Structure 1
Amino acid sequence: METASTKDRPTPRPEPTPGAAPRSTGSLSIALAGSGGSGVMTAGNLLLDAAARAGLYGLMVRTSGPQIRGGEAAALLRLSEAPTESLDDAFHLLLAIDWQNIHRFADEIPMRPAGLLLGDADEGEPPAVFLAGGARFVSLPLKKTAKAIRGAWTNMLALGVAGALAGIPRDALEAAVRASWRREASGLDANLEALRAGIEAADAIDRERVPRIDAGAHARNGRWLLSGNEGAGLGALRGGIRFVAAYPITPATEMLEWMAPALTRIGGTLLQAEDELASINMAIGASFGGVPSLTATAGPGLSLMAEGIGLAVSAEVPVVIVDVMRGGPSTGIPAKSEQSDLSFAVGGLHGDAPRLVLAPTSITDCVATTQWAVTLAEATQAPAIVLSDQFMGQSRAIVDRPADPGFVAHRLVAQADAPGFKRYRDTESGVSPMAIPGTPGTVYTADGLEKSEAGIPSSQARDHAIQLDKRERKLRRHDYGRWWADVEGAGDAAILTFGSVTGVAREALARLAGQGMALRLVALRLLAPALPERLAQALEGVSSVLVVEQNHSAQLFRYLRAMYDLPGKPASFHRPGPLPIRPGELADAILEWRNR
């Protein structure tokens, strides 16, 4: 076994069908930074909206300090002529409204040697760490210029500067501001004036360090601005979820905020529970009553839900749990991303408790994967854990409208007065009809105790063995179709990964393909149950495997080694968050692995 972890790796360089997104042919990376309340997130969202209106694709990643409120913040954007799923290796432009504690983002905002730093003339010089690589600093009187326009905000001036340098047309920038405005008209006029002042200020800046991309060449064509949390919420509704119980927690809260009004419009309900224990049990209760149900949380909440999920396993009640992973353990790093809940998701329940574990491969895929999770949970009468993460959940992307894959949830329901009804009958498929409470002739006990086929609590070894086999068999024998993984490319070596790292792997492999290196990519969407035969087919002809993930202990690598017979001498590339893995970093690691 070969492993590469933080200590022996260099510091990182400053639709429903499965498959790779189109490759980016050119992109521009911009960081907008400032202290809390400076409006950089608003400016970033507006810049992304304007890029979409101009026919571009893009991605915006939010980053902030550890403070609950206030503190430093940055919007990290990558604008592109083709869909993009990851940040680039470094930034062309950093525009700071002020420099307060921005040095804390030095690792997250690596500058290109020919990059450009823009900052307010009255805020002093940028931190030396941003200048060390050769980036050039240009001072702008941002606050003075904005103050001269009554009612204007500095972030609108910054939006104009950044948008103009990126080559986004003025009408697209103005349209984005107008569409977002919810205040008095006089304020809109003032901020449109500030936007135009920023565009004019950009004309005096050397543009050679900020390459333009081909904005305006394509129509928007129904593209969406979508976050992973919104995508997961949409997928849940498409899948048939009509009840949600949850407790707010970073970084999953936005999913609940989006779903609350959306559920109301279609006759569903969202209830904020007093804690995560109540949330999972409410969802299980609603599902037991016949309503497809969901809860959403992050790592600490998932831990609290463990006993409830075990109840859903034992009582065979379908329920979906979306875990938007963050840095851990304990409170950890709430606003940063990490794929470190995997081991708990696939093996963290007490007893032998088979469950479904899925992971979307991109922001767009959050829609289809969550929709599929609802379908699988209902079909197998089992809990399904969906592993999103902060990177996908809280990032926003310009994407092509996600098509509906047509997954339709169907639960095997007992008919009234069914002769010889036994709720937990040991069927060949492992799935037995589930009675809706009140259905005549189908009364049974549903709890966490082991039971006979009739649902009568039992401590007999025979009943325990029958129910254990039944619960395992129904997941193992289910037909998961082609959605279990994205399998792309060819070659005698393969990269195995999951979740948000998939986009990074795709770009790294595309770069290596340009150098003549052919590699296969297997991005797992279904993590549990394990499908050894499917993976063996996907790896046919492969002699070496590199497992790529973002956590400290190589959780996916260890899980795959336990559940699969991987070819050759499998290797691992892994490191923890909060820094995202970059395409160039991964490409270098793959080259090193292939040259051993």
Structure 2
Amino acid sequence: MSFSSVSIAMTGSGGAGVMTAGQMLVDAAARAGWYGLMGRSLGPQIRGGESAALLRLSPQPVQSPDDFYDLLVAVDWGNIERFASELPLHAETVIISDPVQGPVPALMLEQSPRVIEVPLKEIARSTPGGRVNMVALGLVAAAIGIPAATIEQVLSTVLGKKGPEVIAQSLASLHAGMQAAEPLAGHLRPLAPPTAAGQDRWSITGNEATGLGALRGGVRFCAAYPITPATEVLEWLAPNLTHVGGTLVQAEDELASINMCLGGSFGGVPSLTATSGPGLALMTEGLGLAVASETPVVVVDVMRGGPSTGIPTKSEQSDLNIAVYGLHGDAPHIVTAPLSIADCVFTAQWSVMLAESRQCPVIMLSDQAAGQSRAVLDRPTLPDFHAHRLRAEAAEGDYQRYALTADGVSPMAIPGTAGTTYTADGLEHSPKGTPSTQARHHQEQLDKRLRKLTEFDYGPAWAEISGPPDADMAVITFGSITEQVREALARAAETGLHARLIAVRLLAPARPARMVAALQGIGKLLVVEQNHSAQFHSLLRAQYDLPPLVHTLHRPGPLALRPHEIVTALGALAQADACVAA
């Protein structure tokens, strides 16, 4: 690549403090002028179990994991076998192992990494109130070149509420770890000089960015039931909604959540709920009611491994089918997907605008990889559009809530508006809202509900398209995996292999004319996604005319697709085309 980065994994049993250490490391790197990304790998246990802080630090913006980890610091080896495959190592990887924790497990030595023993626990014991995770933090900070003053400042800020004694003990452990970094000299390349010192940047997770986008879009009511990995959306919204006069209610379950949101929206307040796959499954009946009654609502689905309870703490893009096809009957609705952590702001705000203006449910498909990862990034350009619902004014005579308008959108009355009483339920109805079983009314309302979505101009936001206009190959993807694809295409271009990127933000309804333009001149297509059954590829096949040669790169979570795998798949696609041509 044209820039350097350092990837670090800090592992330990739950309670070992590796997440705290990892967060401090990212914060310190950011304060010193670097960029960073921190993901996490956790077991399904409520307490204890395995955990890993997964970091990538760079002088350039990064929002995707690299191919391999350069440094693995094991506070202990507890349950490492459960997620060792998520920690790709190579011959240049340095493993820091505490000898009192036992030998390095054989499965971590398969790629012949370099092992350096550092007595982390013994060092911690040598300082009053010593903490092993702070020793590890000091070791890593010194090894990669983060200034001591910066990491000290971050530590003091983070632990400020714990009092001066805890801060002093942690600083002592930190300094002891820095002194212990000498054996790493020459074995690990330091970070390249920072490039963003003093610039206006954010440290934000995808879930926090989603909450911000929802708030900016006009959401003022949220009802939800906590569920991994979506809970942080609610945790962010709970205090911030109050600052703008909004309300968050923790409902008793997902069925109550969606129905409370429909009630809030029916009353005129833009509403949102956040959940994951199991919760979305429970909400499908309520979403059908939103379609039939034309009530705006946004459901953020932070996807995780499925089916059923699945793998709650791991990422997977496997809710695409239920999001697009999961409602019974002909129930047109909108499905969006943010393309990165930063894009969660835009896509959430856009989703609220679409729900309100089209008077329909919008399902926004985020995922654990974006939602629970923290990125240090340049302050994004925030969109200036906001939700606007077509509202009915006081009327005299026969108010038709579901009038057959040209664009399919009818003025929606707020309860209490004079002369606008109407029935809003899940039964098919006449333009007035009166329940009806007439074939004519059913046909008219089906056409109306479809027309307002398919004939709307979504503009260029439907997808992000980049790359050489004369390329004959393209990679098409969606969701957070887009960042790995971007990096892979940049690497491929350096070797002379060029391809266009089509990252789809609007998954439903389909945009056939837009896709034709995006695929202009493309004869070979690589579809990249993170699920077992290639759901995105099937969706593309069903909705669009694709080039003659299509390859897929897909696998389920929890193993993230790495940039080098995408480069390899792109090279295979190019070679396959050459064979066909020959």
TM-score, length of structure 1 as denominator length: 0.95
Name 2:243's counterpart in structure 1. 265
Name 2:173's counterpart in structure 1. 194
Name 1:473's counterpart in structure 2. 451
Name 2:411's counterpart in structure 1. 433
Q: Unaligned stretches of 5+ in structure 1?
A: 1-22
Whether 1:558 and 2:544 are equivalent positions in the alignment is no
How many residue pairs match? The answer is: 573
Q: Distance in 1 between matches of 2:249 and 2:326?
A: 26
Q: Distance in 2 between matches of 1:274 and 1:150?
A: 46
Output aligned runs, 1:244-393, within 5 Å: 244-393=222-371
Whether 1:183 and 2:152 are equivalent positions in the alignment is no
CA contact (8 A) 2:143 2:184 kept: no
Secondary structure of residue in 2 paired with 1:111: coil
Q: Distance in 2 between matches of 1:144 and 1:460?
A: 80
Of structures 1 and 2, the one scoring higher in RCO (CA 8 A, sep 6+) is 1
Secondary structure of residue in 1 paired with 2:196: coil
Identity of aligned residues (%): 57
Aligned pair in 2 of structure 1 residues 308, 24: CA closer, same or farther (>3 Å)? farther
CA contact (8 A) 1:24 1:82 kept: no
Name 1:463's counterpart in structure 2. 441
CA contact (8 A) 2:304 2:317 kept: yes
Whether 1:139 and 2:110 are equivalent positions in the alignment is no
Q: Distance in 1 between matches of 2:365 and 2:221?
A: 20
Shift, 1:197, TM fit: 1.2
Name 2:54's counterpart in structure 1. 76
Aligned-partner residue type, residue 337 of structure 2: A
Shift, 1:394, TM fit: 0.6
CA contact (8 A) 2:59 2:195 kept: no
Shift, 1:572, TM fit: 1.7
Q: Which deviates more from structure 2 when the two are superposed, residues 67-76 or residues 330-339?
A: 67-76
Output aligned runs, 1:576-591, within 5 Å: 576-591=556-571
Aligned mate of 2:519, from 534, 539, 544: 539
Aligned pair in 2 of structure 1 residues 24, 317: CA closer, same or farther (>3 Å)? farther
Q: Which deviates more from structure 2 when the two are superposed, residues 152-161 or residues 519-528?
A: 152-161
Deviation per CA, 1:424-452, whole angstroms, max 9, x where unpaired?
00000000000000000000000000000
CA contact (8 A) 2:251 2:257 kept: yes
Q: Distance in 2 between matches of 1:218 and 1:205?
A: 30
Aligned pair in 2 of structure 1 residues 218, 570: CA closer, same or farther (>3 Å)? closer
Name 1:5's counterpart in structure 2. none
TM-score, length of structure 2 as denominator length: 0.97
CA contact (8 A) 1:167 1:215 kept: no
Q: Which deviates more from structure 2 when the two are superposed, residues 551-560 or residues 116-125?
A: 116-125
Whether 1:122 and 2:100 are equivalent positions in the alignment is yes
Q: Unaligned stretches of 5+ in structure 2?
A: 577-582
CA contact (8 A) 1:24 1:84 kept: no
CA contact (8 A) 2:293 2:425 kept: yes
Aligned mate of 1:571, from 529, 532, 551: 551
Whether 1:451 and 2:429 are equivalent positions in the alignment is yes
CA contact (8 A) 2:427 2:436 kept: yes
Secondary structure of residue in 2 paired with 1:312: helix
Name 2:573's counterpart in structure 1. 593
Shift, 1:215, TM fit: 4.1
Shift, 1:136, TM fit: 1.3
Secondary structure of residue in 1 paired with 2:522: coil
Q: Distance in 2 between matches of 1:230 and 1:457?
A: 41
Aligned pair in 2 of structure 1 residues 24, 416: CA closer, same or farther (>3 Å)? farther
Q: Runs of 4 or more off by more than 4 Å in structure 1?
A: none
Aligned-partner residue type, residue 26 of structure 1: S
Q: Distance in 2 between matches of 1:419 and 1:568?
A: 58
Q: Distance in 2 between matches of 1:301 and 1:540?
A: 39
Aligned-partner residue type, residue 389 of structure 1: D
Q: CA RMSD, aligned part only?
A: 1.2
Q: Distance in 1 between matches of 2:429 and 2:83?
A: 55
Q: Distance in 2 between matches of 1:418 and 1:339?
A: 50
Aligned mate of 1:408, from 376, 383, 386: 386
Whether 1:35 and 2:9 are equivalent positions in the alignment is no
Secondary structure of residue in 2 paired with 1:305: helix
